[in-house]
Structures are given as structure tokens and as C-alpha cells.
Amino acid sequence: MRTAFIALAAIIQREALRFIRQRERFIAALVRPLVWLIVFAAGFRAALGLSITPPYQTYITYEIYIVPGLCGMIILFNGMQSALSLVYDREMGSMRLLLTSPLPRWWLLLCRLIAATVISGLQVYAFLAIAAIYGIHLPWQGYVLVLPALIIAGLTLGALGLALSSLIRQLENFAGVMNFVIFPMFFLSSALYPLWKMAESSELLHDICAVNPFTHVVELIRFALYGQLNLTALGWSALAGVVFLALALWGYDPSHGLTRHKR
């Protein structure tokens, strides 16, 4: 038991050190959502009318609407980036080093996932702090209550990255991940526009968005930021997380995953 936590602490520390060292990665992780918030949202504010839908109790500006989606975006990018670093690691052999530890493999992978979630959480709070300086204030309880939602979001999207890293060999190319995972998940979700707005233009698009796990992750964060629990979003996010994690564990199982393909 103690052994397991020593390993967890070491893996988190290693990821954190690596993240701090890659300063450009931290800045990029902050600039990306801030550009959306400050440039995109300002332009869109005029074009998009928002009605009062839960969890909002009053008319809100578009900037306020997209904050949860941008929190989700940070976590999504981070989950994918962590997956890429896994692939890169595996190439470099340090993933192999990790897997030679006598701890159970599922625990080692979970440690990586928890480490990535910690990094995502720090980034989201840094983003929320800058957004607050920019003038976007949320209820103060929201900043605390969003933490469990961020943890679930981090684990779910991190597990997706982990599953992809074990199942898809071509992940080395970040452009591929952008095109086939990040963009579809982000645009076909409630991150940028509410689902009812989507339904106005296309029922099909609405349905796709409604089954996208990223939508549920974003809604979980959105409600949590206003001190509310969206049980539907929680259920779907957790279910997606369990499925992604099962896929990842399968992928990293030495007897069948694609890790056995010849390098």
C-alpha cells in the first residue's frame, strides 16, 4: 500500500517538474483559451443571443457562457498532450521503464492519469484567475465546487488520451490528434454554443453533440461553477471515463494490446 503511494507521489512530481520546465507549454495552455475568451467571444457576443437556461439565473454575456467550455478545452488539450508524451515516452523507453515496476500495471497507468489531472487542474485555475482579472467573475463558491468536476473531467479526458495512445500508433503526430479528436470533440459540444441553439440549425448536429462525452464534461463544469450538480452530466462523464479507462487498460495489457506490434 505504502509502496503504491510512494510511486504515485514520484510520478506526480515527475510530471509536475516536466510541466514547469516546459514553460512554453504552460503559456500555450493559457494563451489558447484566453484568445478564445478575449477575441472570439468578443466577436461572437453580438452575433449570438443567449436566453436564460440553467444554471444561469439571469442574462449572461457570451464570454461568461464559454468559460466552462474553455476550462474543458484546457483539460482536453492536456489529456491529449499527456497521451502524446506517453507515446513519445514509449518510444524513448521511459514508459517501458515505468511498466517494469513491480506495481500493478493498472495502478501505474492510474498514477499517470492522476498526475495529468493535477496538471490540468492547475492550468484551469490559472485560466480562471486571469479571466477574473479580465472581468469575468463567477460565484466564489463556484471556484471551490468546480474542483471535483475538474477532477472527473481530468480523469475522463486523460483516460481517453491514454486509450488512444495505446490503441493508435500514429498518435505521434499532434496535427492528427487535433483534426480527428480535439476539434470534433470541441466543436461538436456545448462548449461554444448551447445545445438548443444547435438544434435550431440541425437536429442531427444536436444529437451528435448530445452524445459527445465532452459535452457532458463541459456541462458538469458549468453547473459546478454555479454551485449546482448536474447528475446527468456526472453520470455520462463518469461512464465515459470508465469506458475509456477500460480501453486503456486493455491496450496496455501485455497479452493483447497494440503495444505488442513490432516497432
Partner 1 sequence: MGGLKITDVSFSYGAKTALNGVSFEVKPGQFCALLGPNGAGKSTLFALLTRLFTTRQGQITVAGADLARQPRVALAQIGVVFQQSTLDLDLSVRRNLRYFAALHGLSGAQAEVRILAALERLDMAERADERARDLNGGHRRRAEIARALIHDPAVLLLDEPTVGLDAASRRAITNHVHDLAQQTGKTVLWATHLTDEVQDSDQLVVLHRGQILANDSCATVRGDRPLADDFLLRTGAAT
Q: How many CB atoms lie within 10 A of CB 100?
A: 8
| Pick 57 or 255: Cβ nearer partner 1 | 255
The distance of closest approach from Cβ of residue 106 to partner 1 in the complex, given in angstroms and rounded to an integer, is: 12
| SS3 call for 173 | coil
Cell numbers for 246: 477500460
Which CB sits closer to partner 1, 89 or 197?
A: 89
Q: Identify which of residues 114 and 136 has a Cβ nearer to partner 1 in the complex.
A: 114
Q: What span, in angstroms and rounded, lies between the C-alpha atoms of 109 and 198?
A: 37
Q: What is d(CA 218, CA 74) in angstroms, rounded to the nearest whole number?
A: 11
Q: Pick the closer one to partner 1 by CB: 17 or 144.
A: 17
Closest approach, Cβ 254 to partner 1, in A, equals 4
Cβ-based burial of 48 (10 A; exposed 0-12, middle 13-18, buried ≥19): middle
Of the pair 94, 114, the CB lying nearest partner 1 is at 94
Separation of alpha carbons 174 and 29, rounded Å: 15
Per-residue HEC secondary structure of 78-100 comes to: HHHHHHHHHHHHHHHCHHHHHHC
CB of 26 to partner 1, least distance (A): 15
Return d(Cα 108, Cα 184) in angstroms, integer.
Answer: 30
The least CB distance from residue 101 to partner 1, in Å, is 4
Residue nearer to partner 1 on the CB measure, 10 or 246: 10
Amino acid at position 42, single letter: A
DSSP 260: G
Please name the residue that has the C-alpha cell 492522476: 114
- To the nearest whole angstrom, how small is the minimum distance from the Cβ of residue 77 to partner 1? 22
CB of 258 to partner 1, least distance (A): 11
Query: Would you say 19 or 127 has its CB closer to partner 1?
Result: 19
Asked if the peptide bond before residue 184 counts as cis, ω within 30 degrees of 0, the response is no
Cβ at position 22, least distance to partner 1 in Å: 9
Q: Please say whether the beta carbons of 209 and 190 come within 8 A.
A: yes
Q: Residues in the site for partner 1, rule: CB under 8 A?
A: 2-4, 6-7, 9-11, 13-14, 17-18, 21, 91-94, 96-104, 108, 254-255, 259-262
